Structure 1
Amino acid sequence: MQANESGRDHPAAQKAAPGVAPAEPELTVIVVSYNTRALTLACLETLYARTHTTRFRCVLLDNASSDGSAEAVAERFPQVELIASEDNLGFAKANNVVAAQAQTEWLLLLNPDTEVHEGAIDALLAFSKENPQAGITGGRTVFPDGSLNKLSCLDRITPWSAFCVATGLASVFRNTTLFNPEYIGGWDRDTVREVDIVVGCFLMIRRSLWEELGGFNLKYFMYAEEADLCLRAGKLGYRPMITPEAQIMHLVGASSKRTDKMKRVAKGRATLIRDHWPSALVPLGLGLMWLWCALRLGAARLMALGAPRRHGETYEKWSGIWSARADWLAGYQA
């Protein structure tokens, strides 16, 4: 489906009849892009083509992309409010910058490597209004082939879940909630459910709650900032929720190299353990992260010795992650 690039026929851009005040937008859609030109254009195209009843404004902050993302958005989507940053602010700060300028009742964080399915944003806003106790809401995400992408939501890290991740039980028994509790294994995201964490690729929140929480904690440069946000909302009594009626496609990590991403995910994970676990249990959590990397490095080394051409690259990847362990175990610093 092709979007109306001018935006004139979209509810967010309709002009009022003479003598009638125009309807104010109720939602600000925030997109933060970094070297994802083609994906960002597809995201915006589907955003406008498949959102029908929600009055929204879209603000895109480009994090100093070198691929012409900002220029392409300005040309193709003049209705988008574009902020072309000269520096890479990171995901957390970029969202905070845009949210601080928002005047709408609701905010939606939308990744540039997503495509909005029919009526997804309309459904998510309606769901959010019907469930104020959630505070933060999200939908269902799929891969381009339509298969389930479980990374629309997660449950919190616990000593048990950290043990399952470290020892590989979460991978071996990925479809069970018992051994894969963080990914809520066995649940296809096809029912309404309370969760601990709504992932930031498709996250809706009332602006007043965002402001009460202070937005993202800026020490989380990239990865785990939404987990920290949701866990802080949980401490205020909110219970984030997922609805299958709001569905998008999400590629996951389109702007990140695999090894760099894993280091940053590990660093975010260590920060969550430091920030949200009882202090007495933090050494246990960090020790399990150390074990997670050590076991995978050892396995990769054994495989590389037996078949260096086939497994050499995997060994190099885990060797790089292991070498950086002092950095990621320290977590993000305030």
Structure 2
Amino acid sequence: MLQDLAGLCAGSVTRVVLTLNQADEPPPFPEDQSWPFALQLRRNARPLGFGANHNRALAGAAEAFVCVLNPDVRLQPQAGDALAALRAVACRPGVGCAYPAQVDAQGRVQDSERALPTPAALWRRRAMGRSEARVDWVNAACLVLPRAAWADVRGFDERYYMYCEDVDLSLRLRLAGWRLERAPVAVVHAGQRASHRRLAHLAWHLRSLLRLWCSPVYRRARTLLPPDTRAADRIGAP
């Protein structure tokens, strides 16, 4: 990921914060390696959740835009500077979060745009194999936000250790009047959900879902957000 940023996005990235979530995790590059951007390392004494790590990495950011980025995302050379394309969309008035299309390693489009995870919607998707009929929130593997929007909603809710923090963030942005908008660029997200393979991750997933369903944000979203949203470019529209 760092090599992708250096090779493709050097013109739009000024600073990268890399979090080593394990105390004994070595940096993934030689100490004397140079980069076309400022690279800051954060090393945790104990593992933190996805939201907490990003909140700490982006705390005090002075840049006009911030980026949430998974290390298992890869940028496509043919797409050029994907972050510049995302930033161009994030510059539009009212946009609180710009995001790319996501494809897997074989180029198949992933379902990174999702409907509000009601029990009925999850049943239709998981048990009946139906595709999403609406877009209420977006996967947080790769997001670019104006710093004003990030500050407005105070980043991720750290009570979600893992899973559903992106649902909550998307809903809070929309409830605050910001739009989520897809940029005309794609990234490769090759990671697989660990909740499909590990019991600990499945437990985190279920715990986060229960927290979401009990939250005021979820209840407000079900009441206030438009029920007929079908396209990503309409998210958050009156």
TM-score scaled by length of structure 2: 0.79
1:163 aligned onto 2:120:
yes
Amino acid in the other structure paired with 2:74 = E
Farther off after superposition, 215-224 or 79-88: 79-88
Match of 2:190 among 239, 251, 255: 251
The answer on whether the counterparts of 2:82 and 2:185 sit within 8 Å (CA) in structure 1 is: yes
Which residue pairs with 2:146 in the alignment?
A: 206
Report which of the two structures shows the higher radius of gyration computed on alpha carbons: 1
The answer on whether the counterparts of 2:163 and 2:204 sit within 8 Å (CA) in structure 1 is: yes
Say which SS state the counterpart of residue 98 (structure 1) adopts.
Answer: helix
Over 3 Å counting, the alpha-carbon distance change for 1:147 and 1:82 in structure 2 is same
Q: Structure 1: give runs of 5+ residues left out of the alignment.
A: 1-42, 185-194, 282-334
Which residue pairs with 1:220 in the alignment?
A: 160
The answer on whether the counterparts of 1:213 and 1:233 sit within 8 Å (CA) in structure 2 is: yes
Over 3 Å counting, the alpha-carbon distance change for 1:172 and 1:267 in structure 2 is closer
Amino acid in the other structure paired with 1:110 = L
1:142: Cα distance to partner?
A: 0.9
Match of 1:174 among 129, 137, 146: 129
The answer on whether the counterparts of 1:110 and 1:201 sit within 8 Å (CA) in structure 2 is: yes
Question: For residues 22 and 40 of structure 2, what CA distance do their matches in structure 1 show?
Answer: 16
Question: For residues 120 and 126 of structure 2, what CA distance do their matches in structure 1 show?
Answer: 12
1:59 aligned onto 2:20:
no
Which residue pairs with 1:301 in the alignment?
A: none
Which residue pairs with 1:331 in the alignment?
A: none
The answer on whether the counterparts of 1:113 and 1:254 sit within 8 Å (CA) in structure 2 is: no
Question: For residues 16 and 159 of structure 2, what CA distance do their matches in structure 1 show?
Answer: 26
1:262: Cα distance to partner?
A: 2.4
Runs (4+) of structure 1 moved beyond 6 Å?
none
Which residue pairs with 2:70 in the alignment?
A: 111
- Higher share in helix: 1
1:65: Cα distance to partner?
A: 5.6
Aligned length: 214
Q: Structure 2: give runs of 5+ residues left out of the alignment.
A: 223-238
1:258: Cα distance to partner?
A: 3.2
Question: For residues 30 and 97 of structure 2, what CA distance do their matches in structure 1 show?
Answer: 28
The answer on whether the counterparts of 2:115 and 2:121 sit within 8 Å (CA) in structure 1 is: no
Which residue pairs with 2:2 in the alignment?
A: 44
